[in-house]
Structure 1
Amino acid sequence: MAVNQPNFQEETVNSLSNHDLLPVRPEERTWKTQNFASMWMGVINNIPTYATIGGLVVLGFSPLQVIMIIFIASMILYGALSLNGHAGSKYGIPFPVLVRTSYGIKGANAPALLRGIIAIMWLGIQAYAGSAAFNIAITLLWPGFAFLGGDWTFLGIGLPGLLSFVLFWSMHFLVLKRGMESLKKFQAFTSPLVYIVLIGLLWWAIDTAGGIQPIFTQTGKYETFGELIFPFIGAVAGIIGIWSTLILNIPDFTRFARSQKDQIKGQLYGLPVTFTIFTVVTVAATSATTIAFGNPIGDIIVTLQQFDRPIVIAIAALILSVATITVNVIANLVSPAYDLANLFPKWISFKTGFYITMVAALFTVPWKLMENADAIFTLLNLIGGALGPVAGVMIADYYMIRKRKLNINDIYSLKGEYTYWKGYNYRAFVATGFGATVALIGAFVPSLKGLYDISWFLGVILSFFVYIGFMRLHPPVNNQEENNQLEDMTKGNMKTGN
């Protein structure tokens, strides 16, 4: 059900919103089932996802175990995305506006900034990963490119790599040239192209291995259920951690949905179905490298370099690099652009936020972040542990506290239902802090490492129940009463020396 555009006072729009943060008008909600499906095709079919899935094979999971890990993770992700995307589709509002209902009008900036910072880091990492394929394609078409600059380096990267990164980074500007509508058209064009590469890889894998059976009968290092269970759960949590930002981001896209049914069906077709198909092909190709080269290669760029047809490699590398732009824009560029617009709505529009985000990504020096694979997986778990509690609070607030009914006018009001105490809802921050602390403590206390391995699950579940508990034990009243209560509590603690 679409919600009509509310009428706001001019000063309210200036202080808490701008055109990009207001609910999307019904005539602008044009995303159909196929648009959401193709969005996920673009998000999944890229170089970093291949490396993640191939990495699971390298870590010792059997091909069938990897497929089950991805299938279970994708189903959990689909459930969380559908739940958190409901409000975006119903009310036409993006994440930083939706999160005001739980964290408060001003408090919403905290999770929005956390999401934005992480997204900017991933924007740089994904741009560098895509530029590696771009670099290979250019070098194959122009061999002299590899020798540009000689031994000159900049922060550990040579001139060819740096030029490839900057050129690839620049291509992102074309995708959002005309906002979300141009993104919709771009992903519809590029997503199917990746399947050309996947079909080619699958054919090569089957031919190299001598059939399907030798690929999928390979065994991993976990031979018993007892050996497998905890690494398996940790791997599922790690995969979810990779996409945890999108669980928060999804209202940024579902707000353009033609109907609730379109976003739910589109994400079903695009996520679990596409992810499983992509995993089967990736596992087959990675397993085939074991047969062909004696050890598994989890990097698709390295795999492509084993072929002896430069033109084929160049075309495949270009397709994969372009597909990486799609995932980067959807997962890591749209969200911080909205977050910055929400932080300074008077001065920053979505388009301005987009430019600021792009420039900020340059300063992450992503090739340094990518030097240690272990550090990347650690970062993924930290992301899941930090963002999981935010998703838990949002889902609890929308479904359990609000019963899917929001006061759309008060979301843009300084004196409305979501002002809480001076613009902050302390209950959401307590729930988030508690969930994140328990989820991440294992990263610093070796004896609790088991908690860290399932950080996303812990963060979501704990914050979900803690938030509901605080909202029911100390429910918000009108703003003045809440301010008086908290001020009295503060004064009482000061008098008792607490």
Structure 2
Amino acid sequence: MPRKSASKTFHDAKSYFRAKATSVKAWELPKQPTTFAPDGTWTNIDNDVTPVERRIWGHWSLLGYWMSDILSAQSWEGASTVISGGLTYREALLCLIMGTFIIAIPISFNGSIGAKLRVPYPVAARSSFGYVFSRVPVVIRMVTALFWHAIQTYAGSTAMTQVIRAIWPSYLNIPNHFPENAGITSQQLLSHFIFWTVQLPFLLTPPHKL
């Protein structure tokens, strides 16, 4: 019985990937039902008011989320950049603390509508920009997220290089097949791909399950 089940699973997976490779229609996702929008509206459950079963974030969850955002390689790079500009480490630390408190004000105001009304950002933006033009801040947010993801992944790839180098020192000797003006080497691109592959499963985690 287990062998038959494994064979069926393999067959289903094979059919799935074959369809993805040969048909554009296979990439279309079924339309999710929504509680609020009328039939025919282009929306999904992520634009609904957050259901009660997904409201699992508490004070400690929010604190942990923002601490993980602040205690990151990018924050350390910010401090090192300030120090390289001529400030002492005490002045750099003070600048970072003040800057963090300043940006916390608009961030708190921006998130308050979602915390009170349980609506996602694309829906909240409609109150200021209207139904059609609310797509503009959403696109801006997407572009910002792409840049932030790229910066995070690059920083992670440099750390991945050091991890692999500590295990296999010869990793740094991988021949480079890119021209000098490419701005990246074969070894750096490999580290980038490895780190991107490692973080991909975490990126697929829904926000309410983080």
Structure 1 length as normaliser, TM-score?
Answer: 0.34
- Select the residue among 97, 103, 116 that pairs with 1:90: 116
CA-to-partner distance for each residue in 1:241-287, whole Å, 9 max, x for gaps? xxxxxxxxxxxxxxxxxxxxxxxxxxxxxxxxxxxxxxxxxxxxxxx
Aligned to 1:176: 203
**What residue in structure 1 maps to residue 178 of structure 2?**
153
2:192 corresponding residue in structure 1: 165
Aligned-pair distance for 1:168? 0.8
- Structure with the larger RCO, 1 or 2 (CA within 8 Å, 6+ apart): 1
Structure 2 counterpart of 1:47 = 73
Residue 10 (structure 1) shift: 1.9
For residue 9 of structure 1, the aligned residue among 38, 47, 62 is 38
SS in 1 for 2:75: helix
Question: Aligned equivalents of 1:89 and 1:177: distance in 2?
Answer: 23
Q: Give 1:304-323 correspondences, 5 Å limit.
A: none
- Alignment match, 1:287: none
Deviations 1:321-372 (A, max 9, x none): xxxxxxxxxxxxxxxxxxxxxxxxxxxxxxxxxxxxxxxxxxxxxxxxxxxx
1:72 equivalent in structure 2: 98
Letter in 2 for 1:116: M
**Matches of 1:169 and 1:47, distance apart in 2:** 16
| Counterpart-to-counterpart distance in 1, 2:36 and 2:77 | 48
Residue 29 (structure 1) aligned with residue 58 (structure 2): no
Structure 1 residue 59 corresponds to structure 2 residue 88: no
Alignment-mate amino acid for residue 10 of structure 1: D
Counterpart pick for 1:126 among 148, 152, 160: 152
SS at match of 2:131: coil
- Structure 1 Cα separation of the partners of residues 144 and 37 of structure 2: 32
Distance in 2 (alpha carbons) for counterparts of 1:124 and 1:40: 19
* Distance (whole Å) between structure 2 residues aligned to residue 42 and residue 151 of structure 1: 35
Secondary structure of 1:104's match? helix
Give aligned pairs, total. Answer: 175
1:132-164 CA-partner distances (Å, limit 9, x unpaired)? 01111101111121122x132262322221111
- Which sits farther off after the overlay, 116-125 or 172-181? 172-181
Cα distance in 2, alignment partners of residues 29 and 49 from structure 1 = 29
Q: Which residue of 2 aligns with 1:364?
A: none
Residue 7 of structure 1: how far off its partner (Å): 3.8
Check whether the contact 2:79–2:92 (CA below 8 A) recurs between aligned residues: yes
Structure 1 residues 176 and 121: CA distance shift in structure 2, 3 A: closer
Which SS does the other structure have where 1:105 is aligned?
A: helix
TM normalised by structure 2 equals: 0.76
Write the deviation string for residues 40-71 of structure 1: whole angstroms up to 9, x where unpaired. 12111222211111111110122332222122
CA distance in 2, matches of 1:50, 1:88: 30
TM superposition shift of 1:119: 1.8
Unpaired runs of at least 5, structure 1: 185-498
Cα distance in 2 for partners of 1:180, 1:70 equals 27
2:46 counterpart SS class: coil
CA RMSD of aligned residues (A): 1.9
In the TM superposition, what is the alpha-carbon distance from 1:31 to its structure 2 partner? 0.4
